[in-house]
């Protein structure tokens, strides 16, 4: 077997991880307006909780993206063909959808700002479009895809460095935190870049953590997959520390934003950064363990549903703001103080997940070439390739179908 053909163990629970991450993203986006509009509601703590607690979504996706890349590529020789194929796939399945959805959401934003009319000078808007395109800012969620593209550009460099230095492999996580926090502090006192959330350096701790876990997955695998009864005393100690630490950090993160939004409490910006960073770093590890537990739980219907959501997560990420935009266009004008308002807000999350999921699944199953817009089509939604032997089996009544392995 050639080096480029090395096959690693498939990790099906990662689709459940993706599902949990996209659920986090949808909660944040569905509640964003309410954190401003519903400050007088008796349910404001719940609204704020949903908006802050679920902020783990995007950082967890970055962690997972890094994990998958290093898990699949770390044992392969770094050849020109490997790099060429790597960039080709990212160009087709990530960059192209990013460009097309940037165009779509640019026009959505023009409509929201009341500029989409007969007097619009489209050419005059082109510099604005390209400036936002270069920062991942044509709509509020596209920064994540833009960050991912930055990491894809850097990936072969990181891969080469990790392959050539055991020191970097051992100290990847501390190095990631030093780089991220070095930038955070310098940006606060020197650079003052307003769009720092669109720069990959702002998330490099998650990237390095994902790389480290991938390169040491043989050591982590048993802990992630073992139930409480199966874990050793050391593993149980780690589980308690991670889960209680995650819960404490998440609640502290929720509380400072609650105090700020409702009572105008002021805290140093570095405290917000610290709690967000620690809350979401712990979340990434918790989700790895939770996803594995759920996959092995025996709850077949829940596993199947979460797996499908995870398979569609990138497409759902791209599409769901369109639904939320339409959902809010038909605002029933509820008073934010009333109980009905909370139901309407959470209805945005539920319908965003359902409508986006159903739409992208139908498009992927029935529209040829939809990968141009939505990215790679999951194997489960691709028509199974039929061979001559398959056709004979079907005619003979055997009913078999070829499986794309």
pLDDT by residue (tens digit) across 356-385? 999 999 999 999 999 999 999 998 888 766
Residue 395 has pLDDT above 60, yes or no: no
Residue 207: pLDDT band (50, 70, 90) is: very high
The total of other beta-carbon atoms located within 10 Å of residue 296's CB is: 13
Contact (CB, 8 A) for 12 and 307: yes
Indicate whether 403 pLDDT > 70.
no
The stretch 215-223 carries a mean pLDDT of 94
Q: Does the pLDDT value for residue 401 go beyond 60?
A: no
pTM for the complete prediction? 0.91
Q: What is the mean pLDDT of residues 78-103?
A: 93
Q: Say if residue 247 is exposed, middle or buried (CB neighbours under 10 Å; 0-12, 13-18, 19+).
A: middle
Query: Over pLDDT 90: what percentage of the chain?
Result: 82
Q: What pLDDT is attached to residue 256?
A: 98
Rounded mean pLDDT of 285-311? 96
The share of the chain scoring above pLDDT 70, in percent, equals: 93
Residues 276-297 have a mean pLDDT of 97
Q: What is residue 331's predicted lDDT score, i.e. its pLDDT?
A: 80
The pLDDT of 306-320, averaged and rounded, is 97
Sign for the CA dihedral angle at 293, 299, 300, 303 comes to negative
Predicted local distance difference test score (pLDDT) of residue 306: 97
What's the mean pLDDT in 215-225? 94
CA separation for the pair 215, 218 (Å, rounded): 8
pLDDT over threshold 70, residue 402? no
Sequence-ordered list of residues with C-beta below 8 angstroms from that of 403, at least 6 positions apart, any chain: 384
For residue 389, pLDDT beyond 70: no
Q: Alpha-carbon distance 320 to 302, whole Å? A: 22
Is pLDDT at 239 greater than 90 in this prediction? Answer: yes
Highest-confidence range of 8-12, 145-149, 331-335, 338-342, by mean pLDDT?
145-149
**Eight-state DSSP code of residue 41:** S
Model confidence over 39-83: pLDDT tens digits? Answer: 999 999 999 999 999 999 999 999 999 999 999 999 998 899 999
pLDDT beyond 60 at 237:
yes
More reliable by pLDDT, 23 or 403: 23
Lowest mean pLDDT among 11-15, 200-204, 362-366, 399-403: 399-403
Q: pLDDT-derived band of residue 330, with 50, 70 and 90 as boundaries?
A: confident
pLDDT classification of 100: cutoffs 50, 70, 90: very high
Q: How far apart (Å, rounded) are the C-alpha atoms in residues 403 and 133?
A: 39
**313 pLDDT more than 50:** yes
User: Distance (Å, rounded) from C-alpha 361 to C-alpha 311?
Assistant: 10
Q: In 3D, which of 303, 376, 351, 321 has the Cα closest to residue 20?
A: 303
| Residue 6 pLDDT class (50, 70, 90 cuts) | low
**Is the model more confident about 332 or about 326?**
326
What is the mean pLDDT of the segment spanning 289-317?
A: 96
Query: Rounded to whole angstroms, how far apart are CA atoms 249 and 245?
Result: 6
Report residue 404's pLDDT band, with 50, 70 and 90 as the boundaries.
very low
Contact 162, 70 (CB under 8 A): yes
103, pLDDT greater than 60: yes
pLDDT of residue 398: 37
Distances (CA, A) of 64 to 8, 124, 204, 316, 405: 16, 39, 12, 17, 23
Give pLDDT, residue 9: 86
What is the per-residue pLDDT for 115? 87
- 387 pLDDT band, cuts 50/70/90, is low
Write down the mean pLDDT value for the chain.
91
| Mean pLDDT value across residues 339-365 | 95
């Amino acid at each position: 077997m050639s080096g480029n053909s090395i096959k690693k163990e498939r990790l099906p629970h990662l689709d459940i991880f993706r599902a949990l991450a996209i659920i986090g993203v949808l909660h944040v986006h569905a509640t964003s307006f309410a954190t401003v509009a519903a400050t007088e509601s008796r349910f404001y703590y719940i609204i704020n909780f949903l908006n802050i607690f679920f902020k783990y979504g995007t950082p967890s996706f970055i962690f997972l993206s890094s994990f998958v890349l290093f898990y699949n590529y770390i044992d392969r020789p770094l050849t020109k063909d490997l790099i060429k194929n790597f960039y080709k796939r990212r160009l087709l399945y990530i960059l192209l959808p990013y460009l097309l959805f940037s165009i779509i959401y640019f026009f959505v934003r023009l409509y929201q700002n009341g500029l989409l009319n007969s007097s619009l000078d489209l050419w005059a808007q082109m510099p604005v479009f390209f400036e936002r395109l270069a920062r991942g800012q044509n709509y509020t969620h596209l920064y994540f895809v833009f960050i991912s593209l930055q990491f894809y550009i850097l990936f072969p460099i990181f891969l080469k460095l990790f392959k050539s230095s055991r020191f970097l492999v051992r100290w990847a996580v501390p190095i990631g935190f030093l780089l991220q926090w070095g930038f955070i502090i310098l940006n606060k006192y020197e650079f003052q870049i307003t769009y720092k959330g669109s720069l990959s350096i702002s998330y490099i701790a998650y990237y390095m953590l994902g790389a480290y876990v991938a390169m040491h997955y043989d050591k982590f695998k048993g802990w992630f997959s073992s139930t409480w009864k199966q874990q050793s005393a050391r593993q149980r100690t780690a589980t308690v520390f991670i889960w209680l630490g995650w819960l404490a950090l998440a609640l502290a993160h929720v509380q400072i934003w609650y105090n700020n939004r409702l009572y105008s409490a002021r805290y140093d910006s570095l405290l917000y950064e610290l709690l967000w960073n620690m809350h979401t770093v712990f979340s990434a590890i918790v989700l790895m363990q939770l996803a594995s537990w759920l996959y092995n739980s025996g709850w077949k219907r829940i596993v199947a549903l979460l797996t499908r959501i995870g398979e569609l997560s990138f497409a759902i990420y791209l599409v769901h703001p369109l639904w939320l935009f339409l959902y809010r266009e038909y605002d029933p004008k509820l008073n934010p103080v009333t109980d009905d308002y909370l139901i309407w807000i959470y209805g945005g999350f539920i319908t965003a997940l359902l409508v986006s999921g159903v739409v992208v699944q139908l498009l992927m199953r029935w529209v040829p070439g939809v990968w141009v817009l939505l990215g790679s089509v999951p194997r489960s939604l691709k028509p199974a390739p039929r061979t001559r032997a398959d056709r004979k089996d079907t005619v003979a009544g055997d009913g078999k179908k070829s499986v794309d392995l």
